[in-house]
């Protein structure tokens, strides 16, 4: 292990030695000599051959040479310490390499270098992620590490398959009240509380995406493994969207327009929240009652009377509405293994992250 650890350390300091050797060539020559010995030892280890014991002794003797004269009793414990540290260095180096490989594969296969928390990856698409619960102990963390490898390998075949929006029986709301059979179908999965979904929706609307495709929006409230919703009022918004869509097709999109595009006017000129986007109000300001009140205000303004609202409230609480949410969750997280919102399916492919006009 000592020779492998030495190779790792020498490889890491190689850049600095190269700079120093410009001014002190002798340092570079000594380094290169030692590096070739370390590489030779490593190469033999790879081929399951025995390393030269001389190199291991050279490394130890170099480190212990100053100790042996003044403190000869320290030699044995320090020698053991060097062996232990060598094992630690090798283990950490192997773990770092495997982690880097895992991150690259995850970025390619899943669109994020972080499997359990996709939005934490700065190199992936801008998303709101469906996060796994945090491990509570070392055993769970180790198990999660191997589970992530499994998810990556399971996702790799998906990179080579086509996705047809027609193949998935989502519960959805329609952007266009009259479905145009001549337009290609597109599925758009988004969380009303997700800021990336808001930007994506605005981009699609501005670029005419909703005119080019027969778009089915799948309102989806992100939950973690413990059942906690990522955004406080997303679940009740999704329920009202399904309920109002059932009573008046096309109206649910009007509510999404309010949430994603409009801004809160405030109750007075001094209202500190005046001018804040409604999405932020639902996520950070409105409690459950205030969220319901705002949704029903929009619905009333659209022409619903008290009888209509009473019927709507019943549908919101129906088991059938809960079933719609559950069925979408099974499709999104189960069949499609989606970990990031928004996700779109159109033109035979699955698009993850914020939509941008190509």
Q: Are strands 214-219 and 185-190 parallel, antiparallel or unpaired?
A: parallel
The percent of residues in the chain predicted with pLDDT above 70, rounded, is 71
301/305 Cα distance (integer angstroms): 9
342/346 Cα distance (integer angstroms): 13
Top-ranked range on mean pLDDT: pick from 7-21, 119-133, 177-191, 303-317: 303-317
The percent of residues in the chain predicted with pLDDT above 90, rounded, is 39
Q: Please say if the pLDDT value at position 130 is more than 90.
A: no
92/302 Cα distance (integer angstroms): 62
274/264 Cα distance (integer angstroms): 6
Q: Please say if the pLDDT value at position 2 is more than 50.
A: no
CB-based burial of residue 182 (10 Å sphere; 0-12 exposed, 13-18 middle, 19+ buried)? exposed
Output 172 or 88, whichever has higher pLDDT. 172
Average pLDDT over every residue of 9-22? 53
pTM, entire model: 0.74
pLDDT at 287: 95
Q: How many residues can be counted in the chain? A: 358
Residue ranges in the chain assigned as alpha helix (H): 2-23, 25-46, 53-70, 75-110, 138-155, 195-207, 209-212, 234-247, 251-261, 278-280, 288-301, 306-317, 319-329
Residues 98 and 191: beta-carbon distance below 8 Å: no
Q: Kindly report which listed range (14-23, 207-216, 240-249) carries the lowest average pLDDT score.
A: 14-23
Q: Is the dihedral of CA 296, 300, 303, 306 positive or negative?
A: positive
Residues 341 and 190: beta-carbon distance below 8 Å: yes
Q: DSSP 3-state assignment of 322? A: helix
Average pLDDT over every residue of 22-27? 60
Average pLDDT over every residue of 33-39? 60
Q: Please say if the pLDDT value at position 27 is more than 60.
A: no
Residues 117 and 128: beta-carbon distance below 8 Å: no
Output 32 or 80, whichever has higher pLDDT. 80
Residues 87 and 1: beta-carbon distance below 8 Å: yes
Average pLDDT in the chain: 80
Average pLDDT over every residue of 290-311? 93
CATH number of 162-352: 3.40.30.10
Q: Please say if the pLDDT value at position 19 is more than 90.
A: no
Domain-by-domain residue ranges, the chain?
A: 2-96, 103-158, 162-352
E strand or H helix that includes residue 174: strand 173-174
229/118 Cα distance (integer angstroms): 16
pLDDT at 217: 95
Average pLDDT over every residue of 289-317? 94
Residues 7 and 88: beta-carbon distance below 8 Å: no
Q: Please say if the pLDDT value at position 341 is more than 60.
A: yes
pLDDT at 145: 82
Q: Kindly report which listed range (27-31, 148-152, 239-243) carries the lowest average pLDDT score.
A: 27-31
146/354 Cα distance (integer angstroms): 29
pLDDT at 156: 84
Residues 213 and 184: beta-carbon distance below 8 Å: yes
Q: Please say if the pLDDT value at position 295 is more than 80.
A: yes
162/348 Cα distance (integer angstroms): 5
9/38 Cα distance (integer angstroms): 10
Q: Kindly report which listed range (128-137, 269-278, 300-309) carries the lowest average pLDDT score.
A: 128-137
Which has the closest alpha carbon to 103: 126, 131, 122? 122
* Long-range Cβ pairs for the range 137-146 (8 Å, 24+): 144/116
């Amino acid at each position: 292990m000592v020779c492998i650890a030495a190779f790792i350390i020498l490889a890491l300091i190689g850049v600095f030695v190269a700079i120093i050797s410009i001014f002190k060539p002798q340092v570079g020559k000594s380094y290169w000599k030692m590096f070739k010995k370390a590489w030779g030892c490593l190469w033999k280890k790879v081929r399951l051959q025995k390393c030269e014991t001389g190199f291991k002794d050279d490394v130890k003797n170099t480190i212990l040479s100053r100790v042996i004269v003044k403190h000869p009793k320290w030699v044995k414990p320090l020698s053991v310490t060097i062996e232990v540290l060598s094992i630690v260095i090798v283990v950490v180096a192997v773990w770092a390499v495997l982690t880097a490989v895992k991150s690259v594969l995850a970025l390619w296969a899943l669109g994020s270098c972080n499997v359990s928390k996709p939005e934490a990856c700065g190199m992936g698409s801008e998303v709101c992620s469906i996060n796994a619960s945090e491990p509570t102990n070392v055993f769970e963390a180790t198990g999660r590490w191997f589970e992530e490898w499994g998810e990556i390998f399971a996702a790799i075949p998906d990179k080579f398959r086509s996705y047809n929006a027609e193949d998935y029986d989502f519960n959805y709301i329609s952007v266009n009240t009259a479905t145009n059979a001549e337009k290609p179908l597109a599925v758009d999965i988004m969380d009303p509380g997700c800021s990336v979904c808001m930007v994506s929706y605005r981009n699609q609307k501005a670029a005419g995406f909703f005119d080019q495709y027969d778009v089915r929006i799948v309102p989806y409230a992100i939950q973690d493994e413990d059942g906690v919703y990522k955004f406080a009022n997303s679940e009740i918004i999704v329920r009202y969207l399904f309920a109002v869509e059932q009573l008046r097709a096309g109206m649910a999109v009007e509510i999404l327009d309010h949430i994603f595009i409009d801004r809160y006017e405030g109750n007075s000129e001094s209202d500190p929240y005046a001018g804040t986007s409604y999405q932020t109000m639902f996520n950070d300001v409105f409690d459950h009652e205030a969220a319901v009140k705002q949704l029903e205000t929009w619905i009333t303004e659209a022409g619903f009377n008290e009888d209509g609202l009473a019927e709507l409230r019943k549908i919101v609480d129906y088991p059938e509405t809960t079933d719609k949410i559950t069925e979408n969750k099974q499709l999104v997280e189960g069949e499609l293994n989606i970990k990031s919102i928004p996700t779109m399916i159109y033109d035979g492919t699955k698009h993850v992250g914020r939509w941008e006009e190509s």
